[in-house]
Amino acid sequence: MSGGFSVAVVGGGAAAVCFLDALAHTGHTGGTLTVFEPSPHLWRGRPYQVDADTLTINMVPADMSVRAGDPGHFAYWLAGRDRVTGQPTAADPYSGATFAPRTVYGEYLEQTAYAAMGILRRRGWRVDLIGAPITSASRCAQRVMLQTKDGRARVFDYAVLAVGRGAPQDVYSLDGADGYIPDPYPAVDRLHAIGMDDHVAVLGSGLTAVDTVRYLAAMGHQGGITLVSRHGVLPAVRQEPADFQVRHATQPRMQALAAQGGEFRLADLLDIFRKELADAGSDPQTVTREIASIFAENPVARLRRQLSLVDSPDLGLRILQRAIPDVGPDLWPLLRDTDKTQLLHTHTRTLMSLCCPMPPASAALLLDLADRGQLDIRCGLRHVQPEGTNSFTLTTRTGAFHADRIVNTISASRQRIPHGAQRLVTSLLRSRNAVANPYGGLMIERATSRLTVAAQPDPRLYALGDLAAGALLFTWGIPSLVDRARDITEAIGAHHQAVLQTPELLSA
């Protein structure tokens, strides 16, 4: 296939790696690729920096491959690394599954990115890495003009905005307070100053909060640890892998529904999942009870019960955990606005807990700390007040308690543009090259991830990752990034071919 076009990628994290790998495995030749990434953690992003081995990813290798159509790519790389280092990646003792250290996954991202760059260069591409942030973007005739912080402007045929999610949200305005740690990653740098006997309050109760507890425990922390949040809902416990095939809640089916147009109701989705569970011999009431228990059940009791079900033969939760992230991007645009609002405001925490579970070993550690009285899990957080040097009062609906240190793990809001990308996004909005999505991020075309204004997709501008959150629902997981990266490379290739065949399209 003919090449000759130029493409810029704004951001150099995991999303960019997925795009580079997808681009390298197309037939495009002789183009130019420029990646803009100001941070020193090129390709690793925020979660996969060089860090302690005790912090692991929460998905099995098959779900972490960046190679489209090749779920074994990361597993094969990991096995090769294990042979070279002579240190096999330990399996989870409760499920037998492998959860690689985050820092090792960062190595995989780095090596995959540089391998993709090598392929592109051998195919005649020029590849440039620029360590400067992009502060503005605009359409310039048939091209895209990007401007860096130093005022330099460059033009490209296509631009892919892969800016990432950003750091945890400072909901309680604690920035600058003594003893406040705004982001736990990398833990070896951010958490090393915590005293062994300090009482640590961790804001949030998701996977990053679990990582924080794991690191403190591994370092031999002796003081109390309190996970405190509005809901006090922990991630579910991942069950051992099982071999099954999703038959109804599939990407092709959702894509076919999208092609037909019309609206889709939550009730329709529930009907599909009931059929899915019935075909798998699973009792739908098992999943229904699990959903109903999330806010009602004591978090420690829920953790203990779920850990006891790691080897459950019932496939209900496994089906949910695989199908929802897979079909979410295709399903979300079909839903009525009322259903979208209900999902975001009522069921987000439920979806995150069930579809982003923790490894069983993490659950066992939390249970052990709770049983020994070192870990407490509280909900109903209302206020956090600094009281001086390394002293805070946290108020919940059941009372107040004190902490010496606070670690913030609260996920960034879907509606919140990452701090480093605010000037860029503002420039797009002001120039009317983008429109804010009321559900978060920017308006995009589902099938291609093109930025869309007045229902017109722009074939030159694309969003990959959280800038597409309002349009796709699930944007943060590697499988979603892989699928969208493939969509984007195919869309760019199709448009470029159309331009070559129909020159008047150069004005588009």
pLDDT tens string 419-453: 788 999 999 999 999 999 988 889 999 889 999 99
Largest CA distance in the chain: 72
Look at residue 1 and tell me whether its pLDDT is greater than 50: no
Q: What is the pLDDT of residue 175?
A: 93
- Segment 281-293 mean pLDDT: 86
- Segment 177-205 mean pLDDT: 95
Superfamily per CATH, domain 180-235+359-408: FAD/NAD(P)-binding domain (3.50.50.60)
CA proximity to 400, closest of 376, 382, 373: 382
Domains 6-55+101-166+414-469+485-495 and 180-235+359-408 agree in fold: yes
- Segment 399-420 mean pLDDT: 85
CA 424 from chain center: how many Å? Answer: 21
Q: What is the pLDDT of residue 460?
A: 97
Contact 406, 387 (CB under 8 A): no
- CA dist., res. 445 & res. 312, Å (int): 40
Please report, for the chain, the start and end positions of each structural domain, with discontinuous segments joined by +.
6-55+101-166+414-469+485-495, 180-235+359-408, 251-355
- Segment 193-203 mean pLDDT: 96
CA proximity to 178, closest of 384, 383, 391, 385: 391
Q: Give the residue with greater pLDDT, 176 vs 3.
A: 176
Determine how β-strand 32-36 pairs with β-strand 126-130: parallel
Whether the link from the prior residue into 93 is cis, omega within 30° of 0, is no
- CA dist., res. 262 & res. 255, Å (int): 12
Q: What share of the chain is helix, strand, coil (3-state, %, to 5)?
A: 40, 20, 40
- CA dist., res. 108 & res. 72, Å (int): 13
- CA dist., res. 227 & res. 369, Å (int): 12
Look at residue 3 and tell me whether its pLDDT is greater than 90: no
The tens digit of pLDDT for each residue in 80-111 reads 999 999 989 999 999 999 999 999 999 999 99
Reported as a pLDDT band with limits 50, 70 and 90, residue 328 is confident
Contact 441, 468 (CB under 8 A): yes
> Which of the 8 DSSP states describes residue 320?
H
Q: What is the pLDDT of residue 247?
A: 85
Q: What is the pLDDT of residue 505?
A: 57
The tens digit of pLDDT for each residue in 23-82 reads 999 988 889 999 999 988 899 998 999 999 999 999 999 999 999 999 999 999 999 999
| CATH no. for 6-55+101-166+414-469+485-495 | 3.50.50.60
Reported as a pLDDT band with limits 50, 70 and 90, residue 508 is low
Burial of 416 (0-12, 13-18, 19+ CB in 10 A): middle
Mean pLDDT score of the chain, rounded to an integer? 90
Its pTM stands at 0.93
Look at residue 266 and tell me whether its pLDDT is greater than 80: no
C-alpha triplet 288, 313, 270: angle, nearest 5°:
30
Q: Give the residue with greater pLDDT, 91 vs 263.
A: 91
Look at residue 506 and tell me whether its pLDDT is greater than 60: no
Look at residue 240 and tell me whether its pLDDT is greater than 80: yes
**Proportion of the chain above pLDDT 70, given as a percent:** 97
Q: Give the residue with greater pLDDT, 115 vs 268.
A: 115
Q: Give the residue with greater pLDDT, 327 vs 163.
A: 163
- Segment 384-413 mean pLDDT: 92
Of 98-107, 116-125, 357-366, 415-424, the poorest mean pLDDT is in 415-424
